[in-house]
Structure 1
Amino acid sequence: MERQRRAVSLVLLLLVPTLLAGSIASTPDIQQQVEPSAWPDGGAAYDNMQQLANFGYRRIDTTANENGRDWIVTELEAMGYEVERQPFTSDECSNCENIVVTINGTLENNWMVAGAHHDAICYSPPPVPGITYPGCTSSGAYDDGTGSGALLELARVFMEWNITPTHTWKLGWWDYEEWQGSG
């Protein structure tokens, strides 16, 4: 478990400064860099991943998937975000939904996008299109509960920073990714 926490922490420590550096470095009107008041917490990202995994196998069109995405929305709204829900359908999915929050920057039309998917699937390599492996009970903890948990932690930190970034940020939690629909 400690190894898993360290892995999530490492991902956050590498991802966030890299994305922020790109956002800051590409803007010539920045006069000075200010140390953020909070940094992402790998333990919180791990806890988010565990909470999402607790909903069970989040295959599209299941109660577990719907409950998982509703939990993500509830967490984001509790942080103070206005959440955009993007429902859609496909031949395989009658109840899919992407979740997006926008953090407005000074450059409204210059976006940074960070995303993860909240659905899950079971398969034995190589994956076979159309096969869903009905006996599977995977919770999708690592694919992509880790990404969804880390993205929630990034959203929390952005809210705590209480700054207007240079670039507009879009944080997205995609549905239907495991079926190669990529939300």
Structure 2
Amino acid sequence: MGEDEAITALQELAFPYEMRRFQEVFEKGLRMAHYTTAENAALILKTKTLWLRNAQLMNDFSEVAYGTACLIAALQMGVGAQLETALNGAHPGLWNSIAEFINKVEWQSRTQTYLTSLSAHDPEDFLGRLSMWRAYGGPTSGVALIFKTEVFENDAGQLNTYSSPVAYGDETVLFSNLKEVADGLTG
């Protein structure tokens, strides 16, 4: 097995939800839409840059804390023990090493994460999801910039960035996603 095949196999085991969503985007020919003001869109096009925002400055920064709370709850629902057994079975002490690493970088992850919001967009949908814009845009003119997905498929290691779909839900949704990972590791 080559390096690329090994990386893909690991991604399929560790991130099955993400891999399915990326496959869906590819198969359906979806694009990515960034909803913003007309003024900001003009700046993006003029400077050829898309700025990211610190996660702590999001209009609903509690989403990050909510995600952490859902993770803790999902792990306590039993999937944590299954993951611990699977990981320690593959390499003794791996579970604790991962937990220590996560605890070590938790503050950095919380304070040094920058993001932008993109929505999957069907090219056949000429109206788009401007209803999303109306929820945030207020009285200003809203627009959607549509990006080809290839921009997000390239290796972004130079910038230390990556693209990841958001899984909306509560601790039961996260439990199901983590259970899938644990089952894949033990199956």
Identify whether the pair has TM-score above 0.5, normalized to the shorter chain: no
| Smaller-chain TM-score bracket | under 0.3
Q: Which has the higher strand share?
A: 1
Name the TM-score, length of structure 1 as normaliser.
0.26
Q: Which has the higher helix share?
A: 2
Name the TM-score, length of structure 2 as normaliser.
0.26
